Amino acid sequence: MKAIRVLGLTKSYKSETNIVAVNNLSFEVEEGQVFCLLGPNGAGKTTTIRILNTLLKKDKGQIYFFNIDLDKKPQDIKNIIGVVQQHTNVDSELTVWENLLIHSMLHKMNKMLFKERANQLLEAIDMIDKKNRFANKLSGGERRKLSIIRALLHNPKIIFLDEPTVGLDTFTRRSIWENIKQLKYSGKTIILTTHYIEEAQMLSDLVLIINKGKKLIEETPNTLINRLGKVTLEYQENGKTIYKFFNTNQEAKDFSVNLKDLNSILIRETNLEDVFVTMTGNGGEDYCNSLEKCFP
Ligand SMILES: Nc1ncnc2c1ncn2[C@@H]1O[C@H](COP(=O)(O)OP(=O)(O)OP(=O)(O)O)[C@@H](O)[C@H]1O
């Protein structure tokens, strides 16, 4: 079953430059998938997510969550989604428990169910010992965990995670990855945006790469990597690192024997970051806007 269907989504900001932030974007997400939206700065990811989260109005297009039309039943949609925003927005003046209680009241949860779920989630996400601590006395990672617990409290079917691990240390990041995997195994649909391509490669079933508000490609991480070439050859030429992609190690080796600077050669597995950089251009320049150009 399709958890989300987005058809021809378009949004402009009426600023001095009249930017088309999202331009006729269409995509579908299967129930139970981890779906990752990738794109360079300013690509339109946050705008797309904010529209899906009912926080921003679109100009054009249709959005369905489990066949429910967002335009017709926004409240129904709010009840089936949980949102972890990019900037953690927990209430610093309240304790962890009080933050969760307020959220349960907004979702009209019954008290018994609230207590049971809140304790369960605090336990699962390793925050039970912080239950009575004021949010302003939590570390950045703990605040992020609180916002994840809060987003899950009303048992949403679809969870939006906008850069869930930004600024977190390796241990906290791994523990959040583990939580995301557990959510997927429990059948939740997850929409992830991240600038950590390694995170996208590890967690996602499907990746949608956008640039300048437009869809470039939508594939599984492995398909994207295979299309580019499983093997990457890196070498130096005129003071620049050149990347070339091949289907096999042997092809990369055969190519490398004719290179001048043999010391600079590195042959390694291609990763999703190589795909991302190839498709969206390096350093924000030289954008690749056609699939033919990226994947001849
Ligand atoms: N409130 C706004 N008013 C005017 N322009 C905006 C506004 N918000 C975003 N934009 C512009 O819309 C475009 C898309 O921005 P958006 O925040 O959706 O991108 P993003 O992919 O989330 O970027 P980042 O990775 O940097 O967070 C950018 O050109 C941005 O400057």
This complex has an ipTM of: 0.98
- pLDDT(141) > 50: yes
The alpha carbon of 45 and the centre of ligand 1 are apart by a number of angstroms equal to 8
Pairing of strands 189-193, 240-246: unpaired
Task: Please tell me if the CB atom of residue 170 comes closer than 6 angstroms to any atom of ligand 1.
Answer: no
59: Cα separation from own chain's centroid: 23
Closest residue CA from atom 5 of ligand 1: 13
User: What is the distance, to the nearest Å, from the Cα of residue 238 to the centroid of all Cα atoms in its chain?
Assistant: 36
- Distance in Å, CA 44 to ligand 1 centroid: 6
Q: Ligand 1 center to residue 47 CA distance, Å?
A: 6
Integer Cα distance of 121 and 148 in angstroms: 9
Residue 159 has a CB neighbour count (10 Å cut-off) of: 22
Residues 242, 176: Cα–Cα separation, whole Å? 35
Ligand 1 in contact with 50 (CB < 6 A)? Answer: no
Report all structural domains of the chain as residue ranges with CATH numbers, in order of start.
2-220 (3.40.50.300), 223-294 (no CATH)
- For ligand 1, whether the C-beta of 44 sits within 6 Å is yes
CA 191 – ligand 1 centroid, Å: 18
Residue 280: Cβ within 10 Å count? 22
Taking CA atoms only, the protein residue closest to ligand 1 atom 18 is 44
Per cent of the chain over pLDDT 70 is 95
Rounded mean pLDDT of 173-177?
86
pLDDT tens string 87-122: 778 999 999 999 999 999 999 999 999 999 999 999
CA nearest 232: which of 270, 259, 281? 270
Quote the tokens at residue 200: 């996208």
* Cβ atoms of 246 and 262 closer than 8 Å: no
Residue having the nearest C-alpha atom to atom 28 of ligand 1: 42
Atom of ligand 1 nearest to the CA of 43: 21
Q: Is 287 left (phi over 0), alpha (psi -120 to 50) or beta?
A: beta
CB distance 41 to ligand 1 below 6 Å: yes
Residue, of 244 and 168, whose pLDDT is higher = 244
208 lines ligand 1 (CB under 6 A): no
User: Whose alpha carbon is nearest atom 29 of ligand 1?
Assistant: 42
Q: What b/e readout covers 73-92, taking b as 16+ CB neighbours within 10 angstroms?
A: eeeebbebbbbbbeebebee
Residue closest via CA to ligand 1's atom 24 equals 41
Question: pLDDT (tens digit, 9 = 90+) per residue, 239-288?
Answer: 888 899 999 999 999 999 988 777 889 999 999 999 988 888 754 444 44
**Is the distance from the beta carbon of residue 46 to the nearest atom of ligand 1 less than 6 Å?**
yes
Res. 294 pLDDT band, cuts 50 70 90: low
Q: What is the DSSP string of 58-91?
A: -SEEEEEETTEETTT-HHHHHHHEEEE-SS----
- pLDDT tens per residue, range 204-231: 999 999 999 999 889 999 999 999 899 9
Of the candidate ranges 86-100, 151-165, 195-209, 279-293, the one whose mean pLDDT is the lowest: 279-293
- Mean pLDDT taken over the chain: 90
Cα 40 from Cα 276, distance rounded (Å): 9
Distance CA 172, CA 123 (A): 15
Residue of the CA atom closest to atom 3 of ligand 1: 13
Any ligand 1 atom below 6 A from CB of 52: no
pLDDT tens figures, 32-53? 999 999 999 999 999 999 999 9
Where helices occur in the chain by DSSP H, the ranges are 45-52, 74-80, 96-106, 111-124, 140-152, 170-185, 197-203, 221-228, 249-256, 272-280, 291-294
CB 200 within 8 A of CB 13: no
Ligand 1 atom 1 nearest Cα: 13
